[in-house]
Structure 1
Amino acid sequence: MTPTDRRGALRAGAAAALAGAVTAACGTDRRPADPPSAAAPAEPAAAPLPRRFPGRPTEIDHGPRDRARVALTFHGQGDPAVARALLTAAERAGARLTVLAVGDWLDRYPDLARRILDGGHDLGNHTQRHVDINAMTEAQAYAEINACAQRLRRLTGSIGTWFRPSRAPHALPHVQRAAARAGYPHVLGYEVDSLDFTSPGAPAVVRNVTGPIRNGSVVSLHLGYADTVAALPALLADLDRRGLRAVTTTELLT
Structure 2
Amino acid sequence: MTSLDRRSVLRVAASAAAAGALASGCDPKRSADSAPSVRAADGPSPRATGRSAPARHPAARPPTRAPGLPAEIEHGPRDGHAVALTFHGRGDPKLAEALLGEAERAGARITVLAVGDWLDAQPAMARRILDGGHELGNHTMHHRNICALPADAAYAEISQCADRLRKLTGSIGSWFRPSQTQRATGQVIRLARRAGYPHVLSYDVDSLDANDPGAPAVQRTVLDGIRPGSVVSLHLGHAGTVAALPPILDGLRRRGLRAVTTTELVT
Q: Distance in 2 between matches of 1:231 and 1:49?
A: 30
Structure 1 distance, partners of 2:188, 2:126, is 24
Cα distance in 2 for residues equivalent to 1:94 and 1:49: 23
Q: Detail structure 1 runs of 4+ shifted over 2 Å in the superposition.
A: 16-19, 48-51
Equivalent pairs counted in the alignment come to 218
Quickly say closer, same or farther: Cα 1:50–1:200, change in 2 above 3 A: closer
State the match for 1:239 in structure 2.
Answer: 252
Whole-angstrom CA distance in 2 between matches of 1:127 and 1:49: 17
Q: Which residue of 1 aligns with 2:172?
A: 159
CA deviation map 1:166-215 (0-9, x unaligned)? 01111111011110000011000000000001111111101110001111
Tell me the amino acid that sits aligned with residue 143 of structure 1: A
**Aligned counterparts of 1:196 and 1:144: Cα–Cα separation in 2:** 24
Partner residue, 2:225: 212
Alignment partner, residue 72 of structure 2: 59
Looking at structure 2, the residues matched to 103 and 251 of structure 1 have their Cα atoms a distance apart, in angstroms, of 24
Residue 20, structure 1, aligned to residue 20, structure 2: no
Shift of 1:165: 0.5
Q: Distance in 1 between matches of 2:246 and 2:219?
A: 9
RMSD: 2.0
Consecutive unaligned residues in structure 1, runs of 5 or more: 1-12, 31-47
Equivalences for residues 5-44 of structure 1 within 5 A:
20-22=7-9
**AA in 2 matched with 1:158:** S
Output aligned runs, 1:1-254, within 5 Å. 20-22=7-9, 50-254=63-267
Aligned partner letter, 1:21: S
Q: What is the percentage of aligned positions where both structures have the same residue?
A: 65
The 2-side partners of 1:17 and 1:195 are apart by 30
Q: Which amino acid aligns with 2:182?
A: P
Which secondary structure does the structure 2 equivalent of 1:99 belong to? strand
* Whole-angstrom CA distance in 1 between matches of 2:62 and 2:231: 24
Q: 1:50 to 1:226 in 2, by over 3 A?
A: closer
Cα deviation, residue 21, structure 1: 2.4
Q: TM (normalized to structure 1)? A: 0.82
- The whole-number CA distance in structure 1 between the counterparts of 2:112 and 2:7 is 23
| In 2: Cα distance, 1:72 partner to 1:143 partner | 27
Contact 1:18–1:85 (Cα < 8 Å) also in 2: no
Bigger Rg, which one: 1
Q: How far did residue 51 of structure 1 move?
A: 3.0
Q: Deviations over 1:107-139 (max 9, x none)?
A: 000000000000010100000000000001122
